[in-house]
Structure 1
């Protein structure tokens, strides 16, 4: 290590850099993410408008929880342990695991990493996720997620998506519009909010019903 001082500095940067940025983004808006830069390079454009959490209709946060991460409000260190156990059991039974990505894990990925399912990225995601869960309250996790997540090609965050697809602010979304936005999150380049097909419309209806079924499990989404 003494012969390679640059290596020591690089290791220090890799270890200390992400926690410092996580702490910084606990209070400041996120200006850009790796995915945003990648999509821009692919020619998808760049639409983004950061808004504070109280300026996003709470039904969108509830819809996202219902669509992406039912146990978000009661997780430990940003992981859904129950879902992880189920995926391990499925893998051992020879089935193909569906994945157990939580909202906090998606924030870690979007903030620092690249899209994909390679083992290195998943390992880094697992390392960053508990740091975010420890340093941020859940409402901040939702606030950042709803401001940087991709709702369509080159469209990031609730405000930009609401303006683009519904010509209104994120604060005035209807329940149906919130569910429709949440319904495309697994595949925003394949599914469209502007021209939702039968599957997306059906998924949005399921999300609306699930919000009501979850009840208190979405309480942490309250403004």
Structure 2
């Protein structure tokens, strides 16, 4: 009588190799995710899903957003956007020194880092902020290599929070100025850029105090960005 064949058993990876398996799948999944969003607008972000005020947004291609808005964001958030590889090392060092001295906390994040955080990760402060930093660096590297500057700016301008329950500059322009982002004046663009760090607490219409002064400063810098061609990489 013939002996029945033995059932094949799957060989499990040794425990010390399993983290490498998880790392492989994380890398593969994250690269695929970034590749998809290189051509498809991100439908929603974790920040939007966590917003109890709802979501008002209207995806708009970069060609439909006034160049003044791009210049205002560069002037306010990331003057070296076109020259760095996703990380402004000078700004990071200055932020570390300032925070170490116990002064007011200030980050050194670039537009690329903010885009990576807004699209693929979560907001938050405290220890969760430090947990987020490692994947933030990874996703920043990926979008710089796969998307390029134009796509990074386009996505940022569409997912950035511009008010309570409001996301993207198109929805922000409609909310504050009753017209689309295609016709933003330097002053209007600067006011939206001025509220980006704290969109729930700052007012773009009839701002006062720091927000008004900061908006005026950004307006002046918009002209400098134009003269020096600091937004040239976005329009190659």
Question: TM-score scaled to structure 2, two decimals?
Answer: 0.84
Structure (1 or 2) with the larger CA radius of gyration? 2
Residue 50 of structure 2 aligns to a residue whose secondary structure is helix
Residue 151 of structure 1 aligns to a residue whose secondary structure is strand
Question: How far, CA to CA, are the matches of 1:74 and 1:81 in structure 2?
Answer: 12
Matching of residues 147-158 of structure 1 within 5 Å: 147-158=158-169
How far residue 220 of structure 1 moved from its aligned partner, in angstroms, is 2.4
Whether 2:118 is the aligned partner of 1:134: answer no
Whether 2:87 is the aligned partner of 1:74: answer no
Which residue of 118, 136, 147 maps to 1:110?
118
Residue 73 of structure 1 aligns to a residue whose secondary structure is coil
Whether 2:189 is the aligned partner of 1:181: answer no
Number of aligned residues: 218
**Alignment-derived partner of residue 101 in structure 1:** 109
Matching of residues 30-41 of structure 1 within 5 Å: 30-39=42-51
| Aligned 8 A contact 1:58 1:222 in 2 | no
How far residue 194 of structure 1 moved from its aligned partner, in angstroms, is 3.6
Question: How far, CA to CA, are the matches of 1:91 and 1:181 in structure 2?
Answer: 27
Residue 162 of structure 2 aligns to a residue whose secondary structure is strand
Residues 91, 155 of structure 1: alpha-carbon distance in 2 compared, 3 angstrom cutoff: closer
Matching of residues 204-215 of structure 1 within 5 Å: 204-214=215-225, 215=228
What is the aligned-residue RMSD (CA, Å)? 2.3
| Aligned 8 A contact 1:58 1:221 in 2 | no
Which residue of 70, 85, 100 maps to 2:93?
85
Residues 167, 175 of structure 1: alpha-carbon distance in 2 compared, 3 angstrom cutoff: same
**Alignment-derived partner of residue 64 in structure 2:** 55
How far residue 116 of structure 1 moved from its aligned partner, in angstroms, is 1.7
Higher deviation after alignment, 6-15 or 117-126: 6-15
Q: Deviations over 1:69-94 (max 9, x none)?
A: 11101002x001222233344466x3
Question: TM-score scaled to structure 1, two decimals?
Answer: 0.88
Q: Deviations over 1:180-211 (max 9, x none)?
A: 11110011111122452232111111001112
Residue 116 of structure 1 aligns to a residue whose secondary structure is coil
How far residue 128 of structure 1 moved from its aligned partner, in angstroms, is 1.4
Which residue of 15, 39, 56 maps to 1:27?
39
Q: Which runs of 5+ in 2 are unaligned?
A: 1-11
Question: How far, CA to CA, are the matches of 2:201 and 2:111 in structure 1?
Answer: 20
